[in-house]
Amino acid sequence: MPRSKADRPDRPNAASRFNEEAQTYTVRGAGQPDLEAGVAAIRNVLKTLPARPGVYRMLDARGDVLYVGKARALRHRVTNYTQVDRLPKRLQRMVAQTRSMTIVTTNNEAEALLLEAQLIKRHRPAYNVLLRDDKSFPFILLRADHAFPRIQKHRGARRAKGNYYGPFASAGSVNQTLNALEKLFLLRSCTDGFFKTRDRPCLLYQIKRCSAPCVGRISEADYAELVDDAKRFLSGKATDVQAKLGARMEAAAERQDFELAAILRDRLKALTFIQGSQAINADGVGDADIFALASKEGTIGIQAFFIRGGQNWGHRSFFPAHTADVPEAEVLASFLTQFYEDVPPARTILLDRALPDPALMAEALGERAGHRIAISVPQRGTRRRLMEQATRNAAEALDRRLAESTTQAKLLREVADLFELGEPPDRIEIYDNSHIQGTNALGAMVVAGPEGFRKGQYRKFNIRQAATDDDFAMMREVFQRRFARAQADDPDRDGGTWPDLVLIDGGRGHLNAAKAVLEEMGIEDVCLVGVAKGPHHGREGREVFHLMDGRELTLPVNAPVLFYLQRLRDEVHRFAIGAHRAKRARAIGASPLDEVPGIGPARKKALLMHFGTARAVRGASLEDLQRAPGVSHAVAQQVYDFYHAR
pLDDT, position 9: 39
Q: Is residue 572 packed enough to be buried (19+ CB in 10 Å), middle (13-18) or exposed (0-12)?
A: buried
Beta bridge partners of 184: none
Say whether pLDDT at 392 is over 50.
Answer: yes
Say whether pLDDT at 23 is over 80.
Answer: no
Same fold, 288-399 and 592-644: no
**CATH 3.40.50.1000 is right for the domain spanning 288-399:** no
The predicted-structure confidence for 565-594, as pLDDT tens digits, reads as follows 999 999 999 998 887 777 666 655 556 666
Collapsed DSSP state (helix, strand, coil) of residue 105: strand
CATH architecture assignment, domain 428-581 = 2-Layer Sandwich (3.30)
Residue 589 is given by DSSP the state T
DSSP letters, 418-487, are HTT-SS--S-EEEEEEEEETTEEEEEEEEEEETTEE-GGG-EEEE--SS-TT-HHHHHHHHHHHHHHHHH
pLDDT, position 281: 58
At 20, is the pLDDT very low, low, confident or very high (cuts 50, 70, 90)? very low
Share of the chain above pLDDT 70, in %: 87
> CB within 8 A of 608, min separation 6: which ones?
591, 593, 614, 617
pLDDT, position 415: 93
Across 126-155, average pLDDT: 85
Say whether pLDDT at 290 is over 90.
Answer: yes
pLDDT, position 565: 93
Phi and psi angles of residue 525, each rounded to the nearest 5 degrees, phi first: -115, 20
Helix ranges (DSSP H) in 490-592: 508-520, 560-588
Bond prior to 167 in cis (omega within 30° of 0):
yes
Across 484-512, average pLDDT: 88
> Which amino acid does the sequence have at 277?
S
Q: Residue length, the chain?
A: 646
pLDDT, position 172: 78
Across 599-610, average pLDDT: 76
Mean pLDDT of the chain: 83
Domain range annotation of the chain: 14-123, 139-276, 288-399, 428-581, 592-644
CATH architecture assignment, domain 592-644 = Orthogonal Bundle (1.10)
CB 178 within 8 A of CB 215: no
The predicted-structure confidence for 498-509, as pLDDT tens digits, reads as follows 999 999 998 899
Across 482-492, average pLDDT: 87
Beta bridge partners of 300: 295
Across 92-107, average pLDDT: 92
Across 14-29, average pLDDT: 45
Question: How far does CA 489 lie from the centroid of its chain?
Answer: 24
Q: Is the dihedral of CA 553, 557, 562, 568 positive or negative?
A: positive
CA distance 3 to 229: 15
Is the pLDDT higher at 474 or at 600?
A: 474
pLDDT, position 12: 40
Is the pLDDT higher at 586 or at 512?
A: 512
At 160, is the pLDDT very low, low, confident or very high (cuts 50, 70, 90)? confident
- Cα-based angle 404, 324, 492 (whole degrees, multiple of 5): 90
pLDDT, position 15: 42
CB 283 within 8 A of CB 309: no
**10 Å Cβ neighbour count for 277?**
13
At 8, is the pLDDT very low, low, confident or very high (cuts 50, 70, 90)? very low
**10 Å Cβ neighbour count for 619?**
12
Across 306-323, average pLDDT: 84
The predicted-structure confidence for 166-218, as pLDDT tens digits, reads as follows 788 777 778 888 887 888 888 999 988 888 888 898 888 888 889 999 998 99
At 436, is the pLDDT very low, low, confident or very high (cuts 50, 70, 90)? low
CATH number of the structural domain 14-123: 3.40.1440.10
Say whether pLDDT at 430 is over 50.
Answer: yes
Of the listed ranges 100-104, 307-311, 395-399, 425-429, the one predicted with least confidence: 307-311
Say whether pLDDT at 13 is over 70.
Answer: no
Three-state SS across 323-352? Answer: CCCCCHHHHHHHHHHHHCCCCCCCCEEEEC
The predicted-structure confidence for 354-374, as pLDDT tens digits, reads as follows 999 999 999 999 988 888 999
